Amino acid sequence: MTRPEEAVYEVEHDQIASITLTSVSDAGGIELYIDLHDGSVYSFTAYTPAQLDRLMDRNRWLSFVDIDTLIVKEPSLEAIMHALTQVLLLGVTHFGVQVSAPQAVEDMLGEDEDPWAGL
């Protein structure tokens, strides 16, 4: 498994221009933005099943439903790209949260945090 770094990734995709991985949420998921070639930007959080299980146990939840969630087998750029391709085939507006404009990567990245701790 290759964990992606917090950064902007230019990708070769017919709809996605780039992916910005920004941080790991408190629950352990990878927060990300995708920039589409049409200029729109969507945000998602990618979780592994184990991360969702820990999140649900910690909060004593019986279910987890969220519109911007990607469930990936492993926290890798390859798995995230696979999930995003499926989302685009089904209609990104049904899954992602559209944002008006992406922030600068420097504003989104924490300076002293290890984004992959606990994954």
- Whole-number pLDDT of residue 5: 63
Extents of the domains making up the chain: 7-103
pLDDT digits (tens, 9 = 90+) for 29-57: 888 999 999 988 988 999 999 989 988 99
pLDDT of 82 strictly over 90: yes
pTM of the model: 0.72
What six digits make up the tokens of 88? 């685009």
Could you give the CA distance from residue 35 to residue 100 in angstroms, rounded to a whole number? Answer: 11
How would you classify the pairing of strands 16-24 and 41-47?
unpaired
Could you give the CA distance from residue 35 to residue 56 in angstroms, rounded to a whole number? Answer: 30
- Whole-number pLDDT of residue 72: 94
pLDDT digits (tens, 9 = 90+) for 84-105: 999 888 887 777 677 754 443 3
